[in-house]
Amino acid sequence: MVDPMVAIGAALSIGLSGLGAGYAIAAAGSASIGAIAEKPDLFGKTMIYVAFAEAIAIYGLLISLILLFVVGGA
């Protein structure tokens, strides 16, 4: 049985990181499309920023899994 506060913390970490990642991907994606439209050779450089934005959601998932299985299992 997982402590309810740990479950709330895990839910907040994945939820808020998902919202932040969505906002970051929207901002970086639209800017990268605009940059690629002007200079197509910038494709690789601009996709790096989108990948960094996607990593935010992965970090939130990692923290929520640590909370549930390491802290909640103690």
- Residues 65 and 74: their CA atoms lie apart, in Å, by 13
Which residue in the block uniquely carries the two structure tokens 């197509």? 40
Q: What is the CATH number of the domain that holds 61?
A: 1.20.20.10
Asked if residue 65 belongs to a domain, the reply is: yes
The answer to whether residue 5 is domain-embedded is: no
Please give the DSSP secondary-structure letter assigned to residue 7.
H
Taking only the tens place, the pLDDT of each residue in 5-60 is: 999 999 999 999 999 999 999 999 999 999 999 999 999 999 999 999 999 999 99
The model's pTM is 0.84
- 7 in any annotated domain: no
Residue 22 lies in domain: 12-71
Q: Please give the full DSSP string across 10-68, using - where no structure is assigned.
A: HHHHHHHHHHHHHHHHHHHHHHHHHHHHH-GGGHHHHHHHHHHHHHHHHHHHHHHHHII
Domain count, the chain: 1
On whether residue 1 sits in a domain, the answer given is: no
